[in-house]
Amino acid sequence: MNGIDCAKVRDCLPDFESGRIENHESVTIESHLLSCEDCQSELELIQMLRDGSPAVPVLLADQIENAVSSSRRPWNRSRWGPSVWGLPAAAVVVALVVGVGVSRDRSEVIQDVVFDFGVDADPGELWLSDDSFLAGDLWIENLSNETLMELLVELEGEGAAR
Amino acid sequence: MRDSLRGSREISDDKLVEQACFGDGRAFGILVRRHHASAYRVALSITRQEDIAQDVVQDAFIKAFRALGGFRGDSSFRTWMMTVTANEARATLRKRGRWSESSIEDVGTLESRAPDPAEQAVERKESERARKMLDTLPEKQRLAISARIDEGLSFREIGTLIGSSEGAARVNYFHGIRRLRELME
Ligand SMILES: [Zn+2]
């Protein structure tokens, strides 16, 4: 049928319809469509589907950006910035630095938090890299015992919220 | 934001991913703006509810940002992001006890909103009807159709998205299209 079969035409119809196709292929498909009602009808369906393509909420991109940045905001002192990287690193370091000074219960909470993140994380992910860990380490060193205790309480909250 | 986007068109996704891996929030912001629409349509295709789809896309981007180091570039960032979103959408529905692979039967579980006259008038349009019919197909079929028609993905990319081979992606697409043509008659 006009040098190209229906299967090949239908493979390309979405690209043809949206203009994502080379000129010469476009000409071949057009001439096929003139004599093939079936492919023509499929093209009409594709056009209908594209016309009805759902509108994307106008503010969605802003919402996503805000959500991503607020997911990292409270802990963004390290080179990597985001809390999602700082938190597990900080938790590990807190456990190491103040583990002796806090009750067994609290240490267990911290371990839980660390473990929780460990489950989510792929070992190859950057946020568990040595660099991220070091950044957390340096930051923790300058904290007073009181601040560390506050941090423990906060981590406990984070852990419970997950 | 507009200023930060100026000139961003020339920067490839790969370059932006690399910068975002080093904590560059602006680079990730550009990726969000480029690909949130595709991700949203994937989420909507699976959840079939706008409010849930918005939450899904948001969570998917947060997770993608965390897991960016795991992106190996085997597929394009867009396909990867769409796949992350699809997984997030399924997980969300599963958590809410709504996920199901069945087809027309589970349309009845969709939350129905009170129809108003204006909305009904819009729905009478054939394109709206086609999209409504699309929503009645099994998940893999409607996802394959949406990804092929709305996003222009190849069958190989669709295979990645729906977790199947290129051939199976093609079968899902054409089976869905055939079913839609029957439903639209
Ligand atoms: Zn034909």
**pLDDT tens-place values along chain A, 162 residues long:** 456 899 999 999 999 999 999 988 999 999 999 999 999 999 999 999 999 999 999 999 999 999 999 887 544 433 334 444 444 444 444 444 444 333 344 333 333 333 333 333 333 333 332 333 322 333 444 455 666 566 555 555 544 444
Alpha carbon of B104: minimum distance to chain A alpha carbons (Å): 18
Per-residue pLDDT reduced to its tens digit, B53-77: 999 999 999 999 998 888 888 889 9
- Residues whose CB is less than 8 angstroms from the CB of residue A33 and which lie 6 or more positions away in sequence, other chains included: A9, A39, A40, A43
* Domain annotation covers residue A155: yes
* Domain annotation covers residue A20: yes
3-state secondary structure of B74: coil
* Domain annotation covers residue A136: yes
DSSP B115: P
Neighbours of B22 (CB within 10 A): 13
Alpha carbon of B31: minimum distance to chain A alpha carbons (Å): 10
**What pLDDT shows up at residue A144?**
56
B12-27 mean pLDDT: 91
**What pTM does this model have?**
0.68
For the record, the structure tokens of B108 come out as: 């009845």
| Spatial distance between the Cα atoms of A40 and A34, rounded to a whole number of angstroms | 8
* Domain annotation covers residue A161: yes
**What pLDDT shows up at residue B23?**
84
| Spatial distance between the Cα atoms of A129 and A119, rounded to a whole number of angstroms | 16
* Domain annotation covers residue A90: no
User: How far from each other are the two terminal CA atoms of chain A, in whole angstroms?
Assistant: 60
| Spatial distance between the Cα atoms of A46 and A13, rounded to a whole number of angstroms | 8
Per-residue pLDDT reduced to its tens digit, B28-62: 999 999 999 999 999 999 999 999 999 999 999 99
User: How far from each other are the two terminal CA atoms of chain B, in whole angstroms?
Assistant: 46
| Spatial distance between the Cα atoms of B173 and B144, rounded to a whole number of angstroms | 5
Dump the DSSP string for A29-96. Answer: HHHHHHH-HHHHHHHHHHHHHHHTPPPPPTTHHHHHHHHHHHTTGGGTTSTT--HHHHHHHHHHHHHH
**What pLDDT shows up at residue A31?**
95
* Per-residue b or e along A87-106, where b marks 16 or more CB atoms closer than 10 Å to that residue's CB: bbbbbbbbbeebeeebeeeb
Give the range of the structural domain holding residue A44, as residue numbers without chain letter.
6-51
DSSP B8: G
**What pLDDT shows up at residue B157?**
96
* Interfacial B residues in 90-119 facing A (CB < 8 Å): none
B44 contacts A54? CB cut-off 8 A: yes
Chain A contact for B65, CB < 8 A? yes
| Spatial distance between the Cα atoms of B11 and B34, rounded to a whole number of angstroms | 11
Per-residue pLDDT reduced to its tens digit, B136-154: 999 999 999 999 999 999 9
Structural domains in chain B, sorted by start:
8-99 (1.10.1740.10), 115-185 (1.10.10.10)
> Following CA atoms B123, B126, B131, B136 in sequence, which dihedral angle do they give, to the nearest 10 degrees?
90
| Spatial distance between the Cα atoms of B184 and B127, rounded to a whole number of angstroms | 10
* Domain annotation covers residue A83: no
How many separate domains does chain A show? 2
Angle at B38 between CA B33 and CA B39, to 5 degrees: 85
Chain A contact for B134, CB < 8 A? yes
DSSP B124: T
Choose the weakest-confidence range: A27-31, B23-27, B116-120: B116-120
| Spatial distance between the Cα atoms of B76 and B136, rounded to a whole number of angstroms | 29
Is 70 exceeded by the pLDDT of residue B112? no
| Spatial distance between the Cα atoms of A57 and A94, rounded to a whole number of angstroms | 42
Taking CB atoms and an 8 Å cutoff, what residues of chain A touch B67? 122, 125
* Domain annotation covers residue A1: no
* Domain annotation covers residue A127: yes
Alpha carbon of A47: minimum distance to chain B alpha carbons (Å): 8
